[in-house]
Amino acid sequence: MESACSIQRPSFCLSNRLIRCPKGINNRFHFGNRSRRNVSPLTFSGRFYLHSLKSYGRQQPKRIPFRFRITCQANDDSLGNAETNDQGEENDESESDSLEELRELLHKAIKDLEVARLNSTMFEEKAQRISETAIALKDQAASAWHDVNKTLDVMRVTVDEESVAKEAVQKATMALSLAEARLRVVLESLEEAAGSNGVPEASEKTDSVEEDREEVILAAKDDIKECQFNLASCEAQLSGLQSKKDELQKEVDKLNAFAETIQISALKAEEDVANIMKLAEQAVALELEATQRVNDAEIALQRAEKSLSIPQTPEETQGQLSDDETTLEVKESVYGIYLLG
């Protein structure tokens, strides 16, 4: 700010003398002044034409007020407005940068939240699938063990039937042996009877004896045949039971191996469920943290936008005017002190 000022009859009060400018003195001061922002320092240039001065020696001078009238022609308002505009632009730029940073943070937080939700959903679906698989394997293992136990029960019944069949075979074998022994006894007795009767008897008696021998022999042979048939039947039943037992044993071994495999798979699936549940819990925790960050970023952005949209209150405007007036008063005081110096 450059100013041209005219000073009318100033009085200078010094430490040991008082100098007053007479009326005939041409007093002109040309000084340039700029504010503290982007302005060169204060300078004075002047010419004094003093025709008479009154010196008062070392007398105590009277305190004469320093009164003067300053007429300024300058562009103070334009400079103030320019400075205010510069400050406003700087504030706008800084606030705009701050808003951009907040928007970027919000955008990043939203992306992190989307990733966290995808991970959480993925782990949840995976945990669901593994849980269903574990439940199915557990049910399958239980069914396999049930089949094993059921087959073992059938096998126990077969073993009991085998024991009964073995006893029947033993009894049939013994009965056959007895029938064969009886036949031998009958034949021996008939031979002895025929040898003891050396004198031939009447024909009628001979015919009756022969018929009795044949009946006894036939009865013994029929008994032997029946015992043989019974023995063969018992042996066939025993053989069938033994074959059935062998088949059941093979089936039990197969079902047992299958049940053990399913049981191991079910246990492994349960471990996988426990592990995936931990990962799912961690994913949910990360999703909650990401949600909280998004909420915090939204709140910060809303507050920043709200603070920018609120106009200045009359109290703030009055405070700014008071600051400008105080600055102007300080500048005028500096000018006066500099002139006194």
Q: Report the C-alpha gap between 55 and 129 in whole angstroms.
A: 112
Strand 18-20, strand 28-32: pairing: unpaired
Position 54 pLDDT exceeds 70: no
Are residues 137 and 247 part of one domain? yes
pLDDT for 115-162, tens place per residue? 999 999 999 999 999 999 999 999 999 999 999 999 999 999 999 999
Q: Is residue 249 a part of any domain in this protein?
A: yes
Domain boundary among 296, 318, 336: 296
Are 266 and 139 in contact, with CB atoms under 8 Å apart?
no
180: domain range? 127-194+209-296
- What pLDDT score was predicted for residue 84? 55
Confidence (pTM): 0.50
Are residues 64 and 149 part of one domain? no
pLDDT for 165-182, tens place per residue? 999 999 999 999 998 898
Q: Report the C-alpha gap between 291 and 115 in whole angstroms.
A: 11
Tell me how many degrees the CA angle 175-214-171 measures, rounded to the nearest 5.
Answer: 5
Are residues 31 and 137 part of one domain? no
Show the 3-state SS of 50-85: CCCCCCCCCCCCCCCCCCCCCCCCCCHHHHHHHHHH
- What pLDDT score was predicted for residue 73? 41
**% of residues, the chain, pLDDT over 90:** 39
At a CB cut-off of 8 Å and minimum separation 6, what does 2 contact? 32, 33, 34, 74
Are residues 134 and 67 part of one domain? no
**Counted domains in the chain:** 2
Q: Is residue 160 a part of any domain in this protein?
A: yes
Position 109 pLDDT exceeds 60: yes
Are residues 230 and 162 part of one domain? yes
Please identify which residue in the block is written with the tokens 């032997």.
224
Are 16 and 58 in contact, with CB atoms under 8 Å apart?
yes
Q: Is residue 46 a part of any domain in this protein?
A: yes
CATH of the domain at 214: 1.10.287.620
- What pLDDT score was predicted for residue 173? 93
What letter would DSSP give residue 310? S
